Chains A and B, each alone.
Chain A
Amino acid sequence: MSEGEKTIRKRRHPGRGRGKGRVHPKGRQLDVAAQEDVLALLGDKPRNRDLLIEHLHLIQDSQGCLPAPHMVALADEMRLPLAEVYEVASFYAHFDIVKDDEERPPAVTVRVCDSLTCEMMGAQTLLKDLRTKYDGAVRVVPAPCMGRCDCPPVAEVGHAHVTNATVASVDAAVSGGDTSPTIPDYRGFDAYCADGGYALLRSCLDGGKTVEDILAALDDSGLRGLGGAGFPTGRKWQLVRAEPKPRYMTINADEGEPGTFKDRHYLETDPHRFLEGMLIGVWAVEAERAYIYLRDEYPQIRKLLQIEMPKLVAAGLAKEDSIELRRGAGAYICGEESAMIESIEGKRGLPRHRPPYVAQVGLFDRPTLVNNVETLFWIRDIVEKGATWFGDQGRNGGKGLRSYSVSGRVAEPGVKLAPAGVTVQELIDEFCGGMADGHTFKAYLPGGASGGILPASKGDLPLEFGKLESEGCFVGSHAVVILSDKDDMGDVARNLMRFFEDESCGQCTPCRVGTEKAVALMSDRDWDVPLLEELGRAMADASICGLGQAAANPLFSVLKHFREEVV
């Protein structure tokens, strides 16, 4: 026994009446050094409650983690209960809370995407090899879809993404030391304006166009919400306009559905087309302010928007402080509109109950217009080229254009702008250069992880809202993942279910417990089909939001179309 351990600490008898107690109350104490750090980081930024996640990011970025003393200092500085700061910080995957007795994570973190497409292309091997290679010197963790499914597998070193990653290319990025994101080539403000950009917005602001003109164009074009739900955009704008002021607008750029990367594509190539659509939306619903909620997996777009957004104010297109960029922190559920609103308010992304709908009671309890990036991206073209230009496109009963994020076993994956209602077979053959070499088309995911799975024999169904529901599937955000004869359907369903397990917010019982149990049951060689079916049904029926309701879709699809592979 060492010297130190022999000392017996004297404690006062607890019943000594009015005696002096412990020097400190139980619970965490304010650490002066951490307080100085936090004060320096926050500077003169506002301490509003809705900025909690932004402020947590500041600490995470500077410290490489969220040390417990810094959390105490932040809670103190923002006048928030510590429990609330912990609730929020522990909810998001990109925050690493480090308790007093824990070691800080290594300086560099490599996240390897293990969502479906990346896993099909060897993410698990990459993950294993990287872990062996670094043996703890670099933190290597699996992460959900990074929205780059067209170049799998994907790894993220710090905030720098490595596509078509190999151990060598990841190691080059790690040893290179630059972990900041690279801004891609995009059409800048001047180029966009030279091309006639912002003329429409200006004419809206000048009174050249009326709100009714725009709404009529939207209605005629049949533009629907392209985030996944497909709600008619013109009608949504009208609903929000009918609510009392002040109103807000939020832009859902939290494209988390595995397989979806169209919003990234448009933001990376032509951000101003989206921004113009957004500002028209702000003008049309007379919103006080617009919040762009951008997922943390797209740091290059954050950088890009931080450069471009001030130009709008400088050009007089947007009012000072009328657009705010908010950063997600690694939570799929925040793609659900009410969860996103909670997150913008600086809270955990727990979906809200409807009614009331967010158009009535949304951000900060005010009427709120929520639109997806791509939806807004098309507004300028629809108005300028005429509603019929957009509306007249379409096949097999579809109306308009759709951006399909195609990934998996095709020769040329990527964002494919195609007529709405195109079938998967047409998509593969006409837009993707056929199947990849040596692969035979076997099945496909029409709408990302939650849209279910269909066999090749159903390859002639139009990929459009409302056309796949009879098959128990939906097209959602138009993320199409092509599977081939080389893919094990059990593995596919397990991968998707594991994703839902990781991303369940934990609010409601069926989803919280069901996804976890489903993964456990699906890990057996032979699935307990009746039990899984019952479990999936209870999840679909009883969950609060779409995550839990759709989580069992891939399970049902595999049981329906590929049962022989799992029993």
Chain B
Amino acid sequence: MPKLTIDGEEIEVPDGLSVLQACELAGVEIPRFCYHERLSIAGNCRMCLVEVKPGPPKPQASCALPAGEGMEVSTNSPMVRKARHGVMEFLLINHPLDCPICDQGGECDLQDQAMAFGHDGSRFAENKRAVGDKYMGPLINTIMTRCIHCTRCVRFSTEVGGVEDMGMVNRGEHAEITTLGKAVSSEMSGNVIDLCPVGALTSKPYSFVARPWELRKTETIDVLDAVGANIRVDARGNEVLRVLPRLNEDVNEEWITDKTRFACDGLRRQRLDRPYVRNAEGKLAPAEWDDAFAAIAKRVKGLDGGKIAALAGDLCDVESMFALKALMGALGSPNLDCRQDGAKLDPTVRASYLFNTGIAGVEEADACLIIGSNPRWEAPLVNARLRKRWLQGSFPVGVVGPRHDLTYSHEYLGAGADTLRDIADGSHAFASVLKNAERPMLILGMGALARPDGAAVLAAARKIAEDTGMVGDGWNGFSVLHTAAARVGGLEIGFVPGAGGLDTNGILDASASGAVDVVYLLGADEVDTKKLGNAFVIYQGHHGDAGAHVADVILPGAAYTEKSGTYVNTEGRVQQGQLAAFPPGDAREDWTILRALSAALDCTLPFDDVAALRKQIREAFPRFVRLDDPEPAAWGEFGMAGTMDSTPFGSPIANFHMTDPISRASETMAKCTQEFLNNQNEATGTDG
């Protein structure tokens, strides 16, 4: 614990801190461009200079200088100010100063710091250096003349992203950042846009769209995977223009995936903005809300509850699922499910469906077994944590299931259940790796659970967890990685078949055979809609996707940016999203649609506003009181011993960039699919 003096004030800081970090602790802001707390130290911009005594009589880069006992640091002495002015002048000599046409304008580190350390005019009349722009894929726009060579982007893609596509070529004044014409192949590549302290790397889809001060910023939660990344949605008028990450150390640190960031243009396309009712000719015709409700009432009223079924989709908020469950209860139907993919998750034991280690907890694990999952696509942020942990060393990772480049080295153990059985009975060598670890963990993906023998796989995974000591005091290494933002929320409120009710596959089969007459799809687009047969399909959702195509009545709902909804991520973390823009046209927040429909069906649900609805949720499920604070789950018996099929585990995601109605409607995601997936298809023959 070195004690040092910063600008005359003594402070004691933890060991291993740099002078820059010590200054931050002391509340003194140090300007910087290249330094970033989550990246390695480059020390190349030279903006963070401070004067340190004892030491040479010249300023030193505080980011690369370890804080030492008895140091006297001045951050604002004449020497420091002069040096910083000098460095700033150097940075601006070749910078084009094209702020009026730069997308970074208004949120630019260089602009801000030039206000503090810049001159009002340039003393250099020579021509500025010009650099050709580089192709970095459909997401990142480059204006390389603006680059100040801080190498944050190179360090991010290499260290966090785990793809070494970016580099700095040439030397001296000829230095350039480039990818050699290749798109940055990380699922998190968009973060370099945030990291770039100048306007060299900007968002391609967002180019020339808006200025930051025109935007209304709403802090909310992402739903395009089950991680629940904390995001900020920037909208102008009623249009969502971009999505940026928010800091949450326990979830996404300060990163988001490219899908989270760039799929927002899908919110403007293929929208359901008014109710539709299928007419006598079999065509969907625009209708009024009352007509739509009347059409539903005509089919549903008087129908036996057992002939009605409901499926909740992957993007649903807890409120709407709770409302639909209540409605189904009122209609007397036990047939409801939130597991669109038919995953054999056990809703009775919480620990069986949660990512029990927690996302941040991955960093404490010391061995990991991945079963039937490609975390790089299913949850890039979890994968980034795994990589972060792996970089620290001594982290054996074994994979059972599809083979992928996970950005960290891992042992490929086998394709499916046979290998899993060997690990479960302890005969596989990796079982002892797990046993010898102090805090082993396993990640169980939907590729292993969403299959007929899923319950047996779940049981095998439980056996591995128990036999290798994954579950104990203060540590639970059994982690289920979901892909759907709604899944854990649905399980938590019991959006699963009631006594004698049908699950997803049962509902689909029953619809095909005619045993079920009415199917209510709450944003459920990932089911095999062909199986719905002649059933009367009510689709409530926001995009004209698979579900809407087969619907007889369409009720236009709100997308995640258009409602205040509660989501539970794969860890069981309850988070609250906020409305950033209003739903388009006649579309409404989903719980209000269900509430209105219930009145039309003469079984009015007992809440009139969102506060009353949430109160009921909290009363029924008290853990929803704990926002952003996952409640640890108790271990129990789950899974069902049985024979496992030796078909290889698949991956639930065939295309990272298109997994849901929003990203499927996004032009940007279509470009990414073309760039990354279709190419790869041809070149390497991997499936997808």
Contacts and interface: CB of A to CB of B under 8 A. Distances in A.
Interface of A: 14-15, 17-28, 81-84, 86-87, 90-91, 331, 348, 353, 355, 501-510, 512-517, 520-521, 531, 534-535, 537-538, 540-544
Nearest to B42: A507
Contact of A26 (B58, B168, B183): B183
A543 B180 CA distance: 29
Nearest to A28: B180
- Most interface-central of B42, B61, B86, B683 (chain A CB within 10 A): B86
B683 A25 contact: yes
13 contacts: A14-B671, A21-B682, A22-B679, A22-B682, A25-B683, A83-B167, A506-B168, A508-B45, A509-B91, A516-B129, A517-B90, A538-B86, A538-B89
B228 interface: no
A112 to B, nearest CB: 20
B346 interface: no
Contacts of A22: 678-679, 682
Contacts of B363: none
Contacts of B452: none
A176 B43 CA distance: 50
B283 interface: no
B169 interface: yes
B166 A531 contact: no
B44 A507 contact: yes
Contacts of A25: 679-680, 682-683
B181 A28 contact: yes
A510 B175 CA distance: 14
Given A348-B171, A501-B172, A509 B58 contact: no
B681 A512 contact: no
- Most interface-central of B61, B83, B171, B173 (chain A CB within 10 A): B171
Contact of B172 (A83, A512, A521, A531): A512
Nearest to A19: B678
Nearest to A505: B171
A207 B126 CA distance: 66
Given A91-B171, A505-B171, A512-B175, A353 B43 contact: yes
B165 A81 contact: yes
Given A14-B671, A509-B45, A517-B126, A83 B149 contact: no
Contact of A83 (B93, B164, B682): B164
B178 interface: yes
B41 interface: yes
A513 B66 CA distance: 27
Interface string B215-235: 000000000000000000000
Interface of B: 41-47, 49, 58-59, 61, 64, 66, 79, 82-83, 86-87, 89-91, 93-94, 123-124, 126, 129, 135, 148-149, 163-175, 178-183, 667, 670-671, 674-675, 677-683
A172 B223 CA distance: 74
B86 A508 contact: no
Given A14-B671, A22-B678, A542-B83, 7 more contacts: A17-B670, A21-B677, A83-B165, A86-B169, A509-B47, A510-B86, A540-B58
A24 B682 contact: yes
A512 B171 CA distance: 9
Contact of A544 (B61, B123, B135): B61
Contacts of A542: 46, 49, 59, 61, 83, 86-87
A538 B168 contact: no
- Nearest first, the 10 A-B pairs at minimum CB distance are A538-B86, A21-B678, A83-B167, A81-B164, A506-B175, A27-B182, A25-B679, A504-B172, A90-B169, A513-B90
Contact of B46 (A84, A501, A506, A509): A509
Contact of B90 (A19, A86, A509): A509
Contacts of A86: 167, 169, 178, 180
Contact of A504 (B86, B89, B173): B173
Contacts of B58: 540-541
Given A21-B679, A28-B181, A509 B148 contact: yes
Contacts of A543: 46
Contacts of B172: 501-506, 512, 515-516
Contacts of B174: 506
A355 B67 CA distance: 11
- Most interface-central of A28, A505, A508, A540 (chain B CB within 10 A): A508
A21 B674 contact: yes
A307 B207 CA distance: 61
A20 B681 contact: yes
Contacts of A537: 82, 86
A508 B173 contact: no
Contacts of B79: 541
Given A87-B168, A538-B89, A516 B678 contact: no
A330 B187 CA distance: 38
A331 B169 CA distance: 14
B90 A514 contact: yes
A28 B182 CA distance: 8
A162 B683 CA distance: 51
Contacts of A508: 43-46
A510 B168 contact: no
Contact of B94 (A90, A501, A503, A513): A513
Contact of A534 (B46, B86, B163, B166): B86
B167 A84 contact: yes
Contacts of B45: 508-509
A355 B179 CA distance: 31
B674 A14 contact: yes
Nearest to B179: A83
Nearest to A25: B679
Given A14-B670, A27-B180, A506-B174, A517 B86 contact: no
Contacts of A18: 678
A102 to B, nearest CB: 15
Nearest to B63: A353
A35 to B, nearest CB: 16
A538 B674 contact: no
Nearest to B57: A541
A503 B172 CA distance: 7
Contacts of A331: 171
Contacts of A28: 180-182
Nearest to B676: A25
A22 B678 CA distance: 7
A457 to B, nearest CB: 27
A509 B59 CA distance: 15
B173 A501 contact: yes
Given A90-B171, A513-B94, A540-B58, A27 B674 contact: no
A513 B170 contact: no
Contacts of A538: 82-83, 86-87, 89-90
A546 B64 CA distance: 16
A506 B171 contact: yes
- Most interface-central of A91, A510, A514, A515 (chain B CB within 10 A): A510
Given A83-B166, A508-B43, A542-B83, A513 B679 contact: no
A19 B89 CA distance: 51
Nearest to B682: A23
Nearest to B166: A83
A28 B683 CA distance: 12
Contacts of A91: 169-171
- Most interface-central of A28, A355, A538 (chain B CB within 10 A): A538
A21 B58 CA distance: 57
A510 B164 contact: no
B173 A516 contact: yes
A26 B43 contact: no
Nearest to A531: B123
Nearest to B90: A513
- Most interface-central of B166, B180, B683 (chain A CB within 10 A): B180
Contacts of B677: 21
A24 to B, nearest CB: 6
A87 B83 contact: no
Contacts of B175: 506, 512
B658 to A, nearest CB: 9
